[in-house]
Structure 1
Protein backbone atom coordinates (compact mmCIF):
# COMPACT_ATOMS: atom_id res chain seq x y z
CA UNK A 1 0.00 0.00 0.00
CA UNK A 2 2.86 2.39 0.73
CA UNK A 3 4.19 1.94 -2.80
CA UNK A 4 0.74 2.29 -4.32
CA UNK A 5 0.33 5.56 -2.42
CA UNK A 6 3.76 6.66 -3.64
CA UNK A 7 2.69 6.10 -7.25
CA UNK A 8 -0.48 8.12 -6.73
CA UNK A 9 1.52 10.91 -5.07
CA UNK A 10 4.01 11.06 -7.96
CA UNK A 11 1.59 10.72 -10.87
CA UNK A 12 -1.79 11.69 -9.43
CA UNK A 13 -4.67 9.71 -8.01
CA UNK A 14 -6.91 7.92 -10.49
CA UNK A 15 -9.45 10.31 -11.99
CA UNK A 16 -11.01 11.31 -15.30
CA UNK A 17 -7.87 13.38 -15.97
CA UNK A 18 -5.48 10.65 -14.81
CA UNK A 19 -6.66 7.24 -16.06
CA UNK A 20 -4.90 4.08 -14.91
CA UNK A 21 -4.57 0.59 -16.35
CA UNK A 22 -3.41 -1.98 -13.79
CA UNK A 23 -1.89 -5.22 -15.11
CA UNK A 24 -2.98 -7.50 -12.29
CA UNK A 25 -1.27 -9.39 -9.45
CA UNK A 26 -2.84 -7.35 -6.66
CA UNK A 27 -2.96 -10.28 -4.25
CA UNK A 28 0.59 -11.63 -4.38
CA UNK A 29 2.28 -10.88 -1.07
CA UNK A 30 1.66 -8.66 1.93
CA UNK A 31 3.47 -7.61 5.07
CA UNK A 32 2.48 -7.85 8.68
CA UNK A 33 1.40 -4.19 8.80
CA UNK A 34 -0.69 -4.31 5.60
CA UNK A 35 -3.33 -6.79 4.50
CA UNK A 36 -3.06 -8.05 0.95
CA UNK A 37 -6.76 -7.31 0.50
CA UNK A 38 -6.13 -3.59 1.08
CA UNK A 39 -4.61 -3.22 -2.39
CA UNK A 40 -7.47 -4.97 -4.13
CA UNK A 41 -10.10 -3.04 -2.19
CA UNK A 42 -8.37 0.27 -2.91
CA UNK A 43 -8.14 -0.41 -6.65
CA UNK A 44 -11.72 -1.67 -6.63
CA UNK A 45 -12.95 1.49 -4.90
CA UNK A 46 -11.27 3.66 -7.54
CA UNK A 47 -12.84 1.48 -10.24
CA UNK A 48 -16.27 2.12 -8.72
CA UNK A 49 -15.62 5.86 -8.54
CA UNK A 50 -14.13 6.18 -12.04
CA UNK A 51 -15.44 3.17 -13.99
CA UNK A 52 -14.41 4.60 -17.38
CA UNK A 53 -10.94 5.70 -16.29
CA UNK A 54 -9.68 2.91 -14.02
CA UNK A 55 -9.12 -0.48 -15.65
CA UNK A 56 -8.15 -3.62 -13.75
CA UNK A 57 -6.73 -6.60 -15.59
CA UNK A 58 -6.51 -10.02 -14.04
CA UNK A 59 -3.11 -11.47 -13.15
CA UNK A 60 -1.84 -14.91 -12.28
CA UNK A 61 -2.32 -14.19 -8.57
CA UNK A 62 -6.06 -13.56 -8.99
CA UNK A 63 -6.95 -17.26 -9.20
CA UNK A 64 -8.20 -19.72 -6.62
CA UNK A 65 -5.03 -21.79 -6.82
CA UNK A 66 -2.72 -18.81 -6.30
CA UNK A 67 -4.73 -17.23 -3.50
CA UNK A 68 -4.68 -20.49 -1.59
CA UNK A 69 -0.95 -20.99 -2.11
CA UNK A 70 0.19 -17.40 -1.42
CA UNK A 71 -1.80 -16.72 1.72
CA UNK A 72 -4.76 -14.63 0.61
CA UNK A 73 -7.22 -17.39 1.42
CA UNK A 74 -5.72 -17.72 4.90
CA UNK A 75 -5.83 -13.95 5.38
CA UNK A 76 -9.54 -13.81 4.52
CA UNK A 77 -10.25 -16.76 6.78
CA UNK A 78 -8.27 -15.23 9.66
CA UNK A 79 -9.58 -11.67 9.46
CA UNK A 80 -13.02 -12.22 7.94
CA UNK A 81 -14.36 -15.61 6.84
CA UNK A 82 -14.32 -17.98 3.88
CA UNK A 83 -17.44 -16.33 2.48
CA UNK A 84 -15.46 -13.11 1.99
CA UNK A 85 -12.79 -15.02 0.06
CA UNK A 86 -15.48 -16.51 -2.17
CA UNK A 87 -16.88 -13.02 -2.79
CA UNK A 88 -13.42 -11.79 -3.80
CA UNK A 89 -13.08 -14.70 -6.20
CA UNK A 90 -16.45 -13.97 -7.79
CA UNK A 91 -15.34 -10.40 -8.48
CA UNK A 92 -11.94 -11.49 -9.82
CA UNK A 93 -13.59 -14.01 -12.15
CA UNK A 94 -15.13 -11.02 -13.98
CA UNK A 95 -11.89 -9.11 -14.56
CA UNK A 96 -10.72 -8.80 -18.18
CA UNK A 97 -7.51 -10.60 -19.15
CA UNK A 98 -6.08 -8.08 -21.63
CA UNK A 99 -6.66 -4.60 -22.98
CA UNK A 100 -5.92 -2.40 -25.97
CA UNK A 101 -4.70 1.17 -25.62
CA UNK A 102 -6.02 3.19 -28.57
CA UNK A 103 -6.19 -0.04 -30.58
CA UNK A 104 -2.39 -0.01 -30.90
CA UNK A 105 -0.86 -1.26 -27.65
CA UNK A 106 -1.74 -4.74 -26.39
CA UNK A 107 -1.56 -5.02 -22.59
CA UNK A 108 -1.67 -8.26 -20.62
CA UNK A 109 -0.45 -9.50 -17.25
CA UNK A 110 1.40 -12.54 -18.57
CA UNK A 111 1.76 -12.79 -22.28
CA UNK A 112 0.97 -14.38 -25.59
CA UNK A 113 -0.38 -17.81 -26.32
CA UNK A 114 0.17 -20.32 -29.15
CA UNK A 115 -3.58 -20.80 -28.97
CA UNK A 116 -4.33 -17.15 -29.84
CA UNK A 117 -5.62 -16.83 -33.39
CA UNK A 118 -7.22 -13.38 -33.29
CA UNK A 119 -8.18 -10.51 -31.03
CA UNK A 120 -11.77 -11.52 -31.57
CA UNK A 121 -10.95 -14.88 -30.01
CA UNK A 122 -9.71 -13.04 -26.92
CA UNK A 123 -12.87 -10.93 -26.83
CA UNK A 124 -14.97 -14.09 -26.83
CA UNK A 125 -13.39 -15.53 -23.69
CA UNK A 126 -16.41 -15.88 -21.39
CA UNK A 127 -16.55 -14.03 -18.11
CA UNK A 128 -16.86 -14.89 -15.34
CA UNK A 129 -14.23 -17.58 -15.66
CA UNK A 130 -12.44 -19.43 -12.88
CA UNK A 131 -9.26 -19.54 -15.04
CA UNK A 132 -8.08 -22.96 -13.88
CA UNK A 133 -8.44 -25.55 -16.63
CA UNK A 134 -8.69 -23.08 -19.53
CA UNK A 135 -5.41 -23.29 -21.47
CA UNK A 136 -5.82 -19.97 -23.29
CA UNK A 137 -6.63 -18.12 -20.06
CA UNK A 138 -3.67 -19.74 -18.29
CA UNK A 139 -1.39 -18.65 -21.15
CA UNK A 140 -2.52 -15.03 -20.84
CA UNK A 141 -1.99 -15.09 -17.07
CA UNK A 142 1.21 -17.12 -16.76
CA UNK A 143 3.21 -16.87 -19.98
CA UNK A 144 6.40 -14.81 -20.12
CA UNK A 145 8.89 -13.59 -22.77
CA UNK A 146 12.18 -15.43 -23.12
CA UNK A 147 15.01 -15.29 -25.63
CA UNK A 148 14.53 -18.64 -27.33
CA UNK A 149 15.78 -20.39 -30.45
CA UNK A 150 12.26 -21.77 -30.81
CA UNK A 151 9.26 -19.45 -31.17
CA UNK A 152 7.25 -20.92 -28.30
CA UNK A 153 7.96 -23.41 -25.54
CA UNK A 154 5.54 -24.94 -23.06
CA UNK A 155 6.05 -24.14 -19.37
CA UNK A 156 4.45 -25.70 -16.30
CA UNK A 157 1.65 -23.13 -16.54
CA UNK A 158 1.34 -21.01 -19.64
CA UNK A 159 4.33 -20.89 -21.97
CA UNK A 160 7.46 -18.88 -22.70
CA UNK A 161 7.60 -17.14 -26.06
CA UNK A 162 10.41 -15.67 -28.11
CA UNK A 163 10.88 -12.35 -29.95
CA UNK A 164 9.57 -13.68 -33.26
CA UNK A 165 6.25 -14.59 -31.65
CA UNK A 166 5.88 -11.00 -30.47
CA UNK A 167 6.72 -9.52 -33.87
CA UNK A 168 4.37 -11.87 -35.71
CA UNK A 169 1.54 -11.17 -33.26
CA UNK A 170 1.92 -7.41 -33.76
CA UNK A 171 2.08 -7.79 -37.54
CA UNK A 172 -0.97 -10.06 -37.69
CA UNK A 173 -3.10 -7.67 -35.66
CA UNK A 174 -1.68 -4.33 -36.86
CA UNK A 175 -0.44 -3.40 -33.41
CA UNK A 176 2.65 -1.50 -32.32
CA UNK A 177 3.59 -2.81 -28.89
CA UNK A 178 2.98 -5.52 -26.29
CA UNK A 179 3.10 -4.57 -22.60
CA UNK A 180 3.26 -7.27 -19.93
CA UNK A 181 3.86 -7.15 -16.20
CA UNK A 182 4.74 -10.43 -14.50
CA UNK A 183 8.56 -10.38 -14.55
CA UNK A 184 10.75 -8.63 -11.98
CA UNK A 185 13.21 -6.16 -13.54
CA UNK A 186 16.08 -4.51 -11.70
CA UNK A 187 15.21 -1.06 -13.05
CA UNK A 188 11.46 -1.71 -12.79
CA UNK A 189 11.06 -2.11 -16.54
CA UNK A 190 12.65 -3.49 -19.69
CA UNK A 191 12.01 -2.14 -23.19
CA UNK A 192 14.59 -4.09 -25.19
CA UNK A 193 12.84 -7.41 -25.87
CA UNK A 194 11.97 -8.18 -29.50
CA UNK A 195 13.80 -5.03 -30.66
CA UNK A 196 11.68 -2.90 -28.37
CA UNK A 197 8.36 -4.39 -29.47
CA UNK A 198 7.62 -5.80 -26.00
CA UNK A 199 7.82 -3.85 -22.74
CA UNK A 200 7.85 -5.38 -19.29
CA UNK A 201 6.82 -3.05 -16.49
CA UNK A 202 6.98 -4.18 -12.85
CA UNK A 203 5.60 -1.72 -10.30
CA UNK A 204 6.60 -3.36 -7.02
CA UNK A 205 10.01 -2.21 -5.73
CA UNK A 206 12.17 -4.48 -3.59
CA UNK A 207 9.96 -7.41 -4.52
CA UNK A 208 9.90 -10.20 -1.95
CA UNK A 209 12.22 -8.08 0.20
CA UNK A 210 15.46 -9.91 0.96
CA UNK A 211 15.40 -12.03 -2.21
CA UNK A 212 15.24 -9.23 -4.78
CA UNK A 213 16.42 -5.62 -4.79
CA UNK A 214 14.74 -3.76 -7.63
CA UNK A 215 13.07 -0.50 -8.45
CA UNK A 216 9.38 -0.28 -9.27
CA UNK A 217 8.13 1.43 -12.41
CA UNK A 218 5.01 2.85 -14.01
CA UNK A 219 4.68 3.27 -17.76
CA UNK A 220 3.18 6.64 -18.68
CA UNK A 221 1.66 6.69 -22.17
CA UNK A 222 1.06 10.02 -23.89
CA UNK A 223 -1.70 10.89 -26.33
CA UNK A 224 0.57 10.22 -29.31
CA UNK A 225 1.43 6.78 -27.82
CA UNK A 226 4.99 7.75 -26.95
CA UNK A 227 5.83 6.73 -23.42
CA UNK A 228 8.20 7.23 -20.51
CA UNK A 229 8.89 5.23 -17.34
CA UNK A 230 8.52 6.70 -13.87
CA UNK A 231 10.44 4.71 -11.26
CA UNK A 232 10.41 4.54 -7.48
CA UNK A 233 12.32 2.71 -4.79
CA UNK A 234 11.06 0.88 -1.73
CA UNK A 235 10.30 3.26 1.12
CA UNK A 236 10.31 2.78 4.86
CA UNK A 237 7.22 1.34 6.49
CA UNK A 238 4.41 3.86 7.05
CA UNK A 239 6.41 6.69 5.54
CA UNK A 240 3.49 7.56 3.26
Structure 2
Protein backbone atom coordinates (compact mmCIF):
# COMPACT_ATOMS: atom_id res chain seq x y z
CA UNK A 1 0.00 0.00 0.00
CA UNK A 2 1.50 3.32 -1.08
CA UNK A 3 1.83 6.47 1.00
CA UNK A 4 -1.03 8.03 -0.95
CA UNK A 5 -3.46 5.19 -0.29
CA UNK A 6 -2.68 3.91 3.20
CA UNK A 7 -5.07 4.65 6.04
CA UNK A 8 -3.71 7.75 7.76
CA UNK A 9 -3.84 8.12 11.57
CA UNK A 10 -6.30 11.07 11.45
CA UNK A 11 -8.74 8.97 9.40
CA UNK A 12 -8.36 6.04 11.81
CA UNK A 13 -9.02 8.40 14.71
CA UNK A 14 -12.07 9.87 12.97
CA UNK A 15 -13.44 6.39 12.30
CA UNK A 16 -12.96 5.29 15.91
CA UNK A 17 -14.56 8.47 17.27
CA UNK A 18 -17.51 8.01 14.89
CA UNK A 19 -18.03 4.40 15.98
CA UNK A 20 -17.81 5.39 19.65
CA UNK A 21 -20.29 8.23 19.13
CA UNK A 22 -22.80 6.01 17.35
CA UNK A 23 -22.44 3.31 20.01
CA UNK A 24 -23.37 5.93 22.60
CA UNK A 25 -25.99 7.96 20.72
CA UNK A 26 -27.93 5.38 18.70
CA UNK A 27 -29.17 2.68 21.19
CA UNK A 28 -31.86 4.80 22.94
CA UNK A 29 -33.66 5.22 19.61
CA UNK A 30 -33.53 1.63 18.34
CA UNK A 31 -36.67 0.66 20.24
CA UNK A 32 -38.59 3.70 18.93
CA UNK A 33 -39.58 4.58 22.49
CA UNK A 34 -40.03 8.37 22.92
CA UNK A 35 -39.51 7.98 26.68
CA UNK A 36 -35.87 7.02 26.05
CA UNK A 37 -35.13 10.00 23.82
CA UNK A 38 -32.18 12.15 24.92
CA UNK A 39 -33.83 15.13 23.21
CA UNK A 40 -36.87 16.48 25.08
CA UNK A 41 -40.07 16.39 23.04
CA UNK A 42 -42.21 19.52 23.31
CA UNK A 43 -45.84 18.92 24.21
CA UNK A 44 -48.30 19.24 21.35
CA UNK A 45 -45.72 18.39 18.68
CA UNK A 46 -46.50 14.76 17.85
CA UNK A 47 -44.28 14.96 14.74
CA UNK A 48 -41.16 15.89 16.70
CA UNK A 49 -40.10 12.37 17.68
CA UNK A 50 -40.72 10.75 14.24
CA UNK A 51 -38.68 13.50 12.56
CA UNK A 52 -35.97 13.21 15.19
CA UNK A 53 -35.71 9.45 14.69
CA UNK A 54 -35.64 9.92 10.90
CA UNK A 55 -32.79 12.39 11.28
CA UNK A 56 -30.87 10.08 13.63
CA UNK A 57 -31.22 6.91 11.53
CA UNK A 58 -30.36 8.64 8.27
CA UNK A 59 -27.59 10.55 10.05
CA UNK A 60 -26.04 7.23 11.07
CA UNK A 61 -25.75 6.23 7.41
CA UNK A 62 -24.37 9.68 6.63
CA UNK A 63 -21.60 9.48 9.25
CA UNK A 64 -20.51 6.00 8.17
CA UNK A 65 -20.41 6.85 4.46
CA UNK A 66 -18.65 10.14 5.20
CA UNK A 67 -15.75 8.22 6.77
CA UNK A 68 -15.63 5.98 3.68
CA UNK A 69 -15.63 9.03 1.39
CA UNK A 70 -12.58 10.43 3.17
CA UNK A 71 -10.56 7.21 2.67
CA UNK A 72 -8.08 7.80 -0.23
CA UNK A 73 -7.42 4.08 -0.77
CA UNK A 74 -11.11 3.37 -1.34
CA UNK A 75 -11.43 6.32 -3.72
CA UNK A 76 -8.39 5.30 -5.78
CA UNK A 77 -8.61 1.50 -5.73
CA UNK A 78 -12.40 1.05 -5.71
CA UNK A 79 -13.91 4.13 -7.38
CA UNK A 80 -17.27 2.40 -7.89
CA UNK A 81 -17.61 1.77 -4.14
CA UNK A 82 -16.58 5.37 -3.55
CA UNK A 83 -19.26 6.61 -5.95
CA UNK A 84 -22.01 4.46 -4.42
CA UNK A 85 -21.09 5.42 -0.87
CA UNK A 86 -21.16 9.03 -2.03
CA UNK A 87 -24.64 8.58 -3.44
CA UNK A 88 -25.80 7.02 -0.16
CA UNK A 89 -24.29 9.99 1.69
CA UNK A 90 -26.09 12.55 -0.47
CA UNK A 91 -29.47 10.83 -0.60
CA UNK A 92 -29.40 10.20 3.15
CA UNK A 93 -28.06 13.66 4.04
CA UNK A 94 -30.77 15.58 2.17
CA UNK A 95 -33.78 14.08 4.04
CA UNK A 96 -31.74 14.03 7.26
CA UNK A 97 -31.04 17.73 6.80
CA UNK A 98 -34.67 18.49 6.06
CA UNK A 99 -35.71 16.60 9.20
CA UNK A 100 -33.13 18.57 11.20
CA UNK A 101 -34.47 21.80 9.71
CA UNK A 102 -37.99 20.84 10.81
CA UNK A 103 -37.06 19.99 14.41
CA UNK A 104 -34.51 22.81 14.91
CA UNK A 105 -37.19 25.38 15.90
CA UNK A 106 -38.39 22.98 18.60
CA UNK A 107 -35.07 22.86 20.48
CA UNK A 108 -35.50 22.84 24.25
CA UNK A 109 -32.49 25.06 25.00
CA UNK A 110 -33.92 28.32 23.71
CA UNK A 111 -33.60 30.64 20.73
CA UNK A 112 -29.81 30.60 20.57
CA UNK A 113 -29.66 26.83 20.12
CA UNK A 114 -32.57 26.86 17.67
CA UNK A 115 -30.88 29.51 15.51
CA UNK A 116 -27.59 27.57 15.53
CA UNK A 117 -29.24 24.29 14.53
CA UNK A 118 -31.35 25.98 11.85
CA UNK A 119 -28.30 27.59 10.28
CA UNK A 120 -26.41 24.30 10.50
CA UNK A 121 -29.21 22.43 8.71
CA UNK A 122 -29.41 25.06 5.96
CA UNK A 123 -25.66 25.08 5.36
CA UNK A 124 -25.43 21.29 5.44
CA UNK A 125 -28.20 20.98 2.87
CA UNK A 126 -26.66 23.72 0.71
CA UNK A 127 -23.12 22.31 0.69
CA UNK A 128 -24.35 18.76 0.06
CA UNK A 129 -26.53 19.78 -2.89
CA UNK A 130 -23.71 21.94 -4.30
CA UNK A 131 -21.29 19.00 -4.06
CA UNK A 132 -23.74 16.71 -5.83
CA UNK A 133 -24.39 19.24 -8.60
CA UNK A 134 -20.65 19.71 -9.18
CA UNK A 135 -20.19 15.93 -9.47
CA UNK A 136 -23.01 15.70 -12.00
CA UNK A 137 -21.32 18.44 -14.03
CA UNK A 138 -17.99 16.55 -13.76
CA UNK A 139 -16.37 19.51 -12.01
CA UNK A 140 -14.63 17.21 -9.59
CA UNK A 141 -12.31 19.73 -7.93
CA UNK A 142 -15.27 21.87 -6.89
CA UNK A 143 -17.20 18.71 -5.97
CA UNK A 144 -14.50 17.65 -3.50
CA UNK A 145 -14.35 21.10 -1.92
CA UNK A 146 -18.09 21.32 -1.37
CA UNK A 147 -18.18 17.79 0.04
CA UNK A 148 -15.35 18.60 2.47
CA UNK A 149 -17.53 21.44 3.77
CA UNK A 150 -20.53 19.11 3.95
CA UNK A 151 -18.51 16.51 5.89
CA UNK A 152 -17.27 19.19 8.30
CA UNK A 153 -20.84 20.25 9.03
CA UNK A 154 -22.00 16.64 9.29
CA UNK A 155 -19.41 15.79 11.95
CA UNK A 156 -20.48 18.73 14.10
CA UNK A 157 -22.88 16.37 15.86
CA UNK A 158 -19.92 14.27 17.02
CA UNK A 159 -18.18 17.21 18.74
CA UNK A 160 -21.34 18.96 19.91
CA UNK A 161 -21.34 17.37 23.36
CA UNK A 162 -17.66 18.27 23.84
CA UNK A 163 -18.23 21.93 22.98
CA UNK A 164 -21.39 22.08 25.09
CA UNK A 165 -19.55 20.62 28.09
CA UNK A 166 -16.75 23.19 27.70
CA UNK A 167 -19.18 26.10 27.33
CA UNK A 168 -21.24 25.05 30.36
CA UNK A 169 -18.07 24.69 32.44
CA UNK A 170 -16.83 28.15 31.40
CA UNK A 171 -20.05 30.18 31.32
CA UNK A 172 -22.29 28.58 33.95
CA UNK A 173 -20.71 28.91 37.41
CA UNK A 174 -24.13 28.34 38.98
CA UNK A 175 -25.78 25.13 37.65
CA UNK A 176 -29.18 26.37 38.86
CA UNK A 177 -29.03 29.37 36.50
CA UNK A 178 -31.36 28.09 33.75
CA UNK A 179 -30.91 31.15 31.53
CA UNK A 180 -27.10 30.91 31.57
CA UNK A 181 -27.34 27.17 30.93
CA UNK A 182 -29.50 27.69 27.85
CA UNK A 183 -27.12 30.32 26.51
CA UNK A 184 -24.10 28.06 27.08
CA UNK A 185 -25.79 25.20 25.24
CA UNK A 186 -26.56 27.58 22.38
CA UNK A 187 -22.94 28.77 22.19
CA UNK A 188 -21.76 25.16 22.23
CA UNK A 189 -24.07 24.39 19.32
CA UNK A 190 -22.68 27.29 17.28
CA UNK A 191 -19.10 26.27 18.08
CA UNK A 192 -19.68 22.64 17.12
CA UNK A 193 -20.11 23.51 13.44
CA UNK A 194 -18.40 26.88 13.09
CA UNK A 195 -15.03 25.52 14.24
CA UNK A 196 -15.37 22.47 11.96
CA UNK A 197 -16.19 24.70 8.99
CA UNK A 198 -13.27 27.04 9.69
CA UNK A 199 -10.88 24.07 9.89
CA UNK A 200 -12.27 22.74 6.60
CA UNK A 201 -11.77 26.13 4.90
CA UNK A 202 -8.21 26.35 6.24
CA UNK A 203 -7.47 22.87 4.92
CA UNK A 204 -8.93 23.69 1.51
CA UNK A 205 -6.83 26.87 1.27
CA UNK A 206 -3.74 24.93 2.35
CA UNK A 207 -4.24 22.20 -0.24
CA UNK A 208 -4.92 24.76 -3.00
CA UNK A 209 -1.65 26.53 -2.16
CA UNK A 210 0.22 23.23 -2.09
CA UNK A 211 -1.12 22.23 -5.51
CA UNK A 212 -0.20 25.60 -7.00
CA UNK A 213 3.31 25.33 -5.56
CA UNK A 214 3.71 21.82 -6.97
CA UNK A 215 2.50 22.91 -10.43
CA UNK A 216 4.85 25.90 -10.39
CA UNK A 217 7.77 23.66 -9.44
CA UNK A 218 7.00 21.13 -12.18
CA UNK A 219 6.62 23.85 -14.82
CA UNK A 220 9.85 25.67 -13.87
CA UNK A 221 12.58 25.42 -16.55
CA UNK A 222 15.55 23.26 -15.63
CA UNK A 223 18.77 25.35 -15.53
CA UNK A 224 21.24 24.58 -18.32
CA UNK A 225 24.10 22.30 -17.37
CA UNK A 226 22.17 20.32 -14.75
TM-score of the alignment, normalized to the shorter chain, above 0.5:
no
| TM-score relative to the length of structure 2 | 0.32
Higher strand proportion (structure 1 or 2): 1
If you compute each CA radius of gyration, which structure gives the higher value, 1 or 2? 2
